[in-house]
Amino acid sequence: MKNPETLGELKQSSFAKVCESGRSVKAEMRENLLRQLEAGRPLFPGIIGYDDSVVPQIINAILSKHNMILLGLRGQAKSRILRALTSLLDEELPVVAGCEIHDNPFRPLCRSCFLKIEELGDRTPVTYLQRDQRYVEKLATPDVTIADIIGDVDPIRAAKAGLQLSDVLTMHYGLLPRANRGIFALNELPDLAGKIQVGLLNILQEGDVQIKGYPVRLNLDVVLVFTANPEDYTARGKIITPLKDRIGSEIRTHYPREIETGLEITKQEAWIQRYPADRLHIPTYIAEVVEAIAFEAREDKRVDKRSGVSQRLPITALENVVSNSERRAILNHEKKIVPRIGDVYAAVPALTGKLELEYEGELKGADTVARELIRAGVARVFSKYFHTSQLQQIVDWFELGGSLKISDMQPAGEAMKQLRTIQGLLERTSELTGRGKVEPEVAVSAAEFLLEGLYANRKISRSEEKGFFGAERKRTEVLRDEAPRGHNPYQ
């Protein structure tokens, strides 16, 4: 059905009751949230791992009609949560056509709309905002001014209209007034200058603010939501106390608490669906190793805990892992694309930029720390599938003088010829690949993971020159492996 186009038609429509009541945005979000809860519909689709922690707190804040702040380290989906709040707004909202601050046709706020309705009456044109148009987001930086957020006097507009600068009609509205009847999100609140925070305080609590020395009263209807890093919030102390006091709910986000949750997030966000399933196969243990790297990094004393380890680390790392295996398959004309552990080491460039190191880590270097985190991640996942005592036959083969070197670009057929020489190796990989016929690419990936797991548990050794070899031989080569020269330990 066609929406009303004038104020007169709007008065006869289903929108009239809501507009006349002057229902606030917070009340609107509360009503829509209650409907979704009663219907059992999922809230905030795409937000994973917060069902029992963050989401209930957000629900309580909205039901309480609170402004809120999300406190969390980088890569904890804070911005995504804020953008998802628009799902609790009405699908359409009638506004005075041409109004910069989306005035309610029944309750005009700005002077120009008031004059327009006084002149045109029921012929006043009406338009509609979609819910996504009612969300305004700003990244707080130290150079943000009160004009950016609140507004400023526009002397050109005053001159053209022949108005005094003190006239409200000369004001050029900032982002906050333009979010009227919607949601205004401010990312990284502590980076906003104190005097701008005072402007937010006044506009929210008293409804007025001085622009160039002229008092302008704006009774805005807006939901204000913030994000901040908890270290900035508490240590730097840049959020002014009166503003903190007036933020209704403080909600802390967190990183995934289980690897399974991290896997689900990474699968949702990473660009890995590049080929059909029969062409690209990502073994579960490879995805788990990539995810385990982030978990190891968050616990590692060489990584700065205050900066955190973003969930973007496993996402970009897995994309690089797939890309390296894709490159190998194309160069070797292989039909199946199957990532190996060597591809995880090739993804080091996706790790180093996301690790803020402490002094000890800086001494070792980002590349070395990243490789050691991969090794720790392999050890964590390997223990889920095997116990080293089950693989003594393989260890003995290396202890008796055997060695094996596989490049990350080596074709699967060539690698299989080498792997078959190791007693008991391919038989044990069936626990990863299943019984029956297995493609060479899959078998090589499983065998390489098994060998890397033995190396991570210090049952065998590895060096750039020799590849894998017995742990009892040439231990000096193990020390040399701690600071590898090449970009990949398999080259």
Alpha carbon separation from 304 to 307, 309, 314 (Å, rounded): 6, 8, 17
Residue 112: per-residue pLDDT: 82
Mean pLDDT of the chain: 87
Which tokens in the block code for residue 146?
A: 């009160």
Residue 4: per-residue pLDDT: 86
With the C-alpha atoms ordered 12, 17, 19, 21, is the resulting torsion angle positive or negative?
positive
Confidence of residue 174 (pLDDT cuts 50, 70, 90): confident
Q: Is the pLDDT of residue 454 over 60?
A: yes
Residue 213: per-residue pLDDT: 59
In 3D, which of 258, 229, 290 has the Cα closest to residue 73? 229
Residue 158: per-residue pLDDT: 59
Establish how many alpha carbons lie within 13 A of residue 345's alpha carbon, considering only the half-sphere containing its beta carbon.
24
Q: Is the pLDDT of residue 164 over 60?
A: no
Spell out the domains of the chain, with CATH numbers in brackets. Answer: 7-252 (3.40.50.300), 259-481 (no CATH)
Q: State the average pLDDT over residues 336-348.
A: 96
Q: Tokens 């305004």 map to which residue?
A: 136
Burial class (CB within 10 angstroms; exposed 0-12, middle 13-18, buried 19+) of 209? buried
Q: State the average pLDDT over residues 471-475.
A: 55
Highest-pLDDT range among 150-154, 197-201, 340-344 = 340-344
User: What is the C-alpha to C-alpha distance for residues 174 and 158, in angstroms, rounded to an integer?
Assistant: 17
Q: Tokens 């003088």 map to which residue?
A: 401
Residue 477: per-residue pLDDT: 46
Which tokens in the block code for residue 205?
A: 């609590």
In one-letter notation, the amino acid at residue 475 is R
End-to-end, the C-alpha distance of the chain in Å comes to 67
In 3D, which of 343, 344, 353, 253 has the Cα closest to residue 292? 344
Q: Are the C-beta atoms of 297 and 245 separated by less than 8 Å?
A: no
Confidence of residue 232 (pLDDT cuts 50, 70, 90): low
Confidence of residue 257 (pLDDT cuts 50, 70, 90): very high
Three-state secondary-structure class, residue 66: coil
User: What is the C-alpha to C-alpha distance for residues 89 and 79, in angstroms, rounded to an integer?
Assistant: 17
User: What is the C-alpha to C-alpha distance for residues 426 and 339, in angstroms, rounded to an integer?
Assistant: 17
Establish how many alpha carbons lie within 13 A of residue 136's alpha carbon, considering only the half-sphere containing its beta carbon.
20
Residue 478: per-residue pLDDT: 44
Q: Is the pLDDT of residue 487 over 50?
A: no
Query: What is the share, in percent, of the chain residues with pLDDT greater than 70?
Result: 88
Strands 214-217 and 222-228: unpaired
In 3D, which of 469, 468, 464 has the Cα closest to residue 491? 464
Cβ neighbors of 260 (< 8 A, separation 6 or more) are none
Q: Are the C-beta atoms of 297 and 307 separated by less than 8 Å?
A: no
Determine which helix (DSSP H) or strand (DSSP E) holds 95, and give its type and residue range: strand 92-96
Residue 491: per-residue pLDDT: 44
Residue 113: per-residue pLDDT: 85
User: What is the C-alpha to C-alpha distance for residues 196 and 142, in angstroms, rounded to an integer?
Assistant: 10
